Amino acid sequence: MSESSRREFLAVSAVAGAAAFVTPRGFGAWQSTDSGAPSKMINIGVIGCGGRGSGAANDTLTANKNVRIVAMADLDTAKAKAARDALKEAHGDRAAVSDERIFGGVDGYQKVIDLKDVDLVILATAPGFRHVHITAAVAAKKHVFAEKPVCVDVAGYHACIAAHEQAAKQGTAIVTGTQYRRQTSFIEGMKRINDGMIGEVVGMTARYCSNGIWYRDRKPGMSDMEYQIYNWMHFIWLSGDQAAEQAVHNIDVIHWVMGGPPERVFASGSRWNRPADSEMWDSVSADFEFPGGKLCSFTGRHWANSESQCDNVVYGSKGIAYLRAFDGGTQITDRAGKELFNVKGNIGAAYRQEHKELVESIVAGKPIVELKQTANSSMMAIMAREAAYSGQVATWDFMVNKSKLDLMPKEIKIPGDAPKPFVRKPGEYRLS
Ligand SMILES: NC(=O)c1ccc[n+]([C@@H]2O[C@H](COP(=O)([O-])OP(=O)(O)OC[C@H]3O[C@@H](n4cnc5c(N)ncnc54)[C@H](O)[C@@H]3O)[C@@H](O)[C@H]2O)c1
């Protein structure tokens, strides 16, 4: 047996012994040689090559020496090729994807997943497709990086929970794009909260309040389906609305601080200044109730010429922790305002850290599987949205055990029809 196969065999045996399952790609093959150079490159397929897909590809190429992009898919092959060209300029051969390995259309994702040499996929399409792509990637035993949110409805949530369990069993990794979880200022702040610096946590506020979001005008000749996917932010089956698409970052921080999901949510919101065919609301505010009567409030809005605020504030019996968004850093004070702790933030580093930890976990044979955590945070966002749309209180038990909410159209064809857009109105719209 050659040295590399022996190492591969030992690594796989160890995993098999622990989990009674073996990964299809021996972990040992990726371990560094004695010289420190990677003995095998991890081959990545990028699915969804817009702003974040190409950003995530750049992040992993920057963070990891031992990865390369070998295939790409986007509905629009021109976008994938443009992303490839930019990545190739920055990273040379490690992003030299040939045109034959760039796939278009709604089944392009499957063509990337079917490639035997693809080890890991980056999933960064419109969020409505995420659970479908995660399910297919896990079924093919690929490692996954999945952008947030990982689901926009209840059917998607259950698909993610099943995929998490399958990945954990078979020993494949799933890391998600909730970068605050890997931002030093958040990690250091959370450590001090958990160590008791602010006393007992009694509640928190989290906000995602900004001046607006993009809207893409329909191009001549586009069918309804093509147009909705192109302008995906504004259609709930594709984006999940602001609560799921953006606010999930802050809602995930609530989930992190509270250590689990809430019991119920009371929510409200508004809609008056979106373009006529947009299904989005302008704002949503939600009171999440946790065991022990603890209340965590979230406020989100897209209002022009208004105060932007995306911070998280955790209130404790002895102090207050300010977990600030983006590069804002973390500050902790006592109840009188005396500073106890202060650290700067660097969100760019956090975006790269996600990919570093994912790849290191694969190489070490200890794959990170964190989909359930982000599925739960996505579900918290979904339940807040549904409670606001309906004016009803949504319980975790109802959403997870009884709701049948499934927004995905039965057929996705381009050109083709798409669901008729409508704005949900409280009192008329009901939890289902
Ligand atoms: N973690 C973060 O901070 C962060 C930041 C931005 C975006 N995101 C997330 O990344 C995802 C993508 O956002 P974006 O800003 O890159 O959007 P985008 O519109 O720039 O890119 C999405 C791309 O996916 C393609 N696409 C859509 N549906 C597809 C399908 N079924 N198959 C193949 N390709 C498809 C589109 O053609 C487009 O090129 C979203 O889930 C978004 O929430 C995360």
- As for ligand 1, residues whose beta carbon falls within 6 Å of it are 47-53, 73-76, 79, 106, 108-109, 124-127, 129, 147-148, 177, 179, 229, 245
Same domain, yes or no, for 163 and 288?
A: no
On whether both 172 and 218 belong to a single domain, the answer is: no
Cα separation, 240 vs 244, whole angstroms: 5
Q: What is the CATH number of the domain that holds 60?
A: 3.40.50.720
Please indicate, yes or no, if residue 32 is contained in any of the structural domains.
yes
How many domains is the chain partitioned into structurally? Answer: 2
Please enumerate in sequence order all residues whose Cβ is within 8 A of that of 337, keeping only pairs 6 or more positions apart, or say none: none
Q: Is the model's pTM score more than 0.85?
A: yes
| Nearest ligand 1 atom, CA 412 | 31
11 Cβ partners below 8 Å, 6+ apart? Answer: 26, 27, 28, 31, 365
Tens-digit pLDDT profile for residues 124-172: 999 999 999 999 999 999 999 999 999 999 999 999 999 999 999 999 9
Residue nearest (by alpha carbon) to ligand 1 atom 6: 52
pLDDT digits (tens, 9 = 90+) for 84-118: 999 999 999 999 999 999 999 999 999 999 999 99
Q: Are residues 186 and 49 in the same domain?
A: no
Answer yes or no: do 175 and 186 share one domain. no
In a domain, 431, yes or no: no
Question: Does residue 345 carry a pLDDT above 80?
Answer: yes
- Residue 120 in any domain: the answer is yes
105 occurs within a structural domain: yes
194 shares its domain with 315: yes
pLDDT at 21 over 80: no
CATH number at residue 318: 3.30.360.10
Rounded to an integer, the average pLDDT of 59-82 is 98
Q: What is the mean pLDDT of residues 37-50?
A: 87
Q: Give me 377's structure tokens.
A: 């945070």
Position 27 scores a pLDDT of 44
Q: Are residues 105 and 190 in the same domain?
A: no
Kindly give the number of the ligand 1 atom that is closest to the alpha carbon of 129.
Answer: 31
Q: Residue 416 domain-assigned? A: no
408 domain-assigned? no
Per-residue pLDDT tens over the stretch 215-266: 999 999 999 999 999 999 999 999 999 999 999 999 999 999 999 999 999 9
Q: Are residues 200 and 108 in the same domain?
A: no
pLDDT value for 4: 34
Cα 313 to ligand 1 centre (Å): 29
Domain that holds residue 70: 3-180+353-368
Rounded to 10 deg, the angle between the 248-258 and 184-194 helix axes is 30
pLDDT confidence bin for 40, thresholds 50/70/90: confident
pLDDT value at position 5? 33
Helix (H, G, I), strand (E, B) or coil at 297: strand
Least confident of 29-33, 61-65, 198-202, 368-372: 29-33
Smallest CA-to-CA distance from 140 within 277, 24, 265, 266 is with: 24
Mean pLDDT, range 57-69, rounded to an integer: 98
Q: For residue 112, what are the CA distances in angstroms to 26, 101, 342, 425?
A: 20, 8, 45, 40
> Cα–Cα distances in Å, from 362 out to 13, 77, 143?
15, 30, 8
159, containing H or E segment: helix 154-170
| Average pLDDT of the chain to the nearest whole number | 92
Q: How much is the pLDDT for 29? A: 55
Q: Are residues 229 and 309 in the same domain?
A: yes
Does 253 lie in the same domain as 148? no
Q: Quick one: 224 and 142 in the same domain? A: no
Examine the domain organization and report whether 119 and 33 are in the same domain: yes
Looking from the CA of residue 52, the nearest atom of ligand 1 is: 16
Query: In this structure, which residue's CA is closest to atom 41 in ligand 1?
Result: 127
The answer as to whether 171 is a domain residue is yes
